[in-house]
Chains A and B, each alone.
Chain A
Amino acid sequence: MSSVKVHFPVLPLQEAVSRPGGITRENALEAAQQNVREISGEADQTIEATIQALEAIVAKGMRGLSTDQLREILSHADQIVTLAGTFSYTSLDRATRGLCDVTDGLMQAGKTDAAPVAVHVRAMHLFSPLCTMPGPEESERILAELAKVASHYGYAPLG
């Protein structure tokens, strides 16, 4: 018969937070946001470098992407989703989520098509913070075209 033990541990985190002093929620969030703003420039460089890494993978795999390449694309794309969300690059965020959905769908279906991946990566390049961004209408048009690609393949959103 399996045993069940119930523990009531005294956790150092709980002891630490109850000590006198410390910071209010308001001050903590203000300081955190200020700290994040300090490295936003690096974020733009990281996004650009990551998009270039994606372009290189796609260029190598135009005749068909291997599972390892698809996995690598997902890993890079996940990073961009995080940064685009953090710094409110909405169009880039939407295009990259689309890339994740399509790439994951290809992996799950055992397909190797590079075209749907390439079109997403091209759009992401247009939305890169270091490029001149398309206007709102043009952005919506591009994102609508990407949505058609995802819809054509019928892959469900991941999140």
Chain B
Amino acid sequence: MAQPRLNLKNVSVLLVDRSAYNRALISQVLRGFGIKHITGCETGEAANELLKKTGFDLCLIEAELPDMPGSDLIRAIRRLPREPMRFVPIIALSGYTQFRWLSTVRDAGANLVLKKPISPQALFDRIAWLGRTKRAYIETDNYIGPDRRFHDIDPPDGSYKRASDKSADVSPVKPSSPVPEGTRP
């Protein structure tokens, strides 16, 4: 049987990470996936300026930026006036020392969190999951972001947090590409 394919050729990615080398490394991985449009930014401010003029299909944002917490940038994206940019899938990237920022990026509206060092497998599987899984977005006074409950669909790593999440003992549909490592919000 033919393997399922993922067409990422026309996907545009905003990559915000303080380290030029990390940006180069992640860009190499994304190019391997067939992604051609990758824009890198070092700071949250630079990303904010860019977002005023340009839209992206996917954002990868480091949890702690040189000039602001990554959560501030995520919150700003979720409050952009134009759709669909305000609902753009966001993967927050966490370094070893940034673990305490995880709850803040989740609460700011990140879709998924990925722990560095980033393996191509983990990144590909998360992008595939985001591309293939339709999720509702919730807008309240203090939260705009993906519905974090998993009643009807599996989370990307097949783990469950709430009693009301779709549970493993009701024959869950496993994600087409299991995610081997990392965390989710």
Binds B, one of A77-85, A109-117, A138-146, A147-155: A77-85
Q: In the complex, are the beta carbons of B136 and A13 less than 8 A apart?
A: no
Task: Identify the closest chain B residue to A5 (Cβ).
Answer: B139
Known: A17-B128, A159-B96. A28 touches B84 (CB 8 A): no
Q: In the complex, are the beta carbons of A158 and B99 less than 8 A apart?
A: yes
Task: Identify the closest chain A residue to B7 (Cβ).
Answer: A22
A3 vs B138: C-alpha distance in the bound complex, in angstroms? 10
A30 vs B18: C-alpha distance in the bound complex, in angstroms? 27
A105 vs B33: C-alpha distance in the bound complex, in angstroms? 39
Q: In the complex, are the beta carbons of B57 and A16 less than 8 A apart?
A: yes
Chain A CB within 10 Å, residue with most, of B5, B115, B130, B138:
B5
Known: A6-B137, A43-B21. A18 touches B7 (CB 8 A): yes
Residues of B within 8 Å of A33, CB to CB, are: 32, 120
A86 vs B96: C-alpha distance in the bound complex, in angstroms? 13
A27-50 CB contacts (< 8 Å) to partner B: 28-36, 38-39, 42-43, 46
Known: A7-B136, A33-B120. A19 touches B7 (CB 8 A): yes
Binds A, one of B23-31, B44-52, B164-172: B23-31
Q: In the complex, are the beta carbons of B89 and A11 less than 8 A apart?
A: yes
Q: In the complex, are the beta carbons of A6 and B136 less than 8 A apart?
A: yes
4 closest cross-chain pairs (CB), A and B: A32-B32, A22-B7, A85-B117, A17-B131
User: B residues touching A (Cβ–Cβ < 8 Å)?
Assistant: 3-11, 18-19, 21-22, 24-25, 28-34, 55, 57-58, 83-84, 87-89, 95-100, 115-118, 120-121, 123-125, 127-128, 130-132, 134, 136-141, 147, 177
User: A residues touching B (Cβ–Cβ < 8 Å)?
Assistant: 2-14, 16-26, 28-36, 38-39, 42-43, 46, 74-75, 77-79, 81-86, 97, 100, 104, 158-159
Instruction: Show 19 residue pairs from A and B whose CB-CB distance is below 8 angstroms, ordered by the A residue.
Output: A4-B138, A6-B138, A7-B138, A9-B83, A12-B11, A13-B57, A14-B132, A19-B10, A26-B3, A28-B34, A29-B121, A29-B124, A32-B124, A35-B32, A78-B95, A79-B95, A83-B25, A86-B25, A158-B99
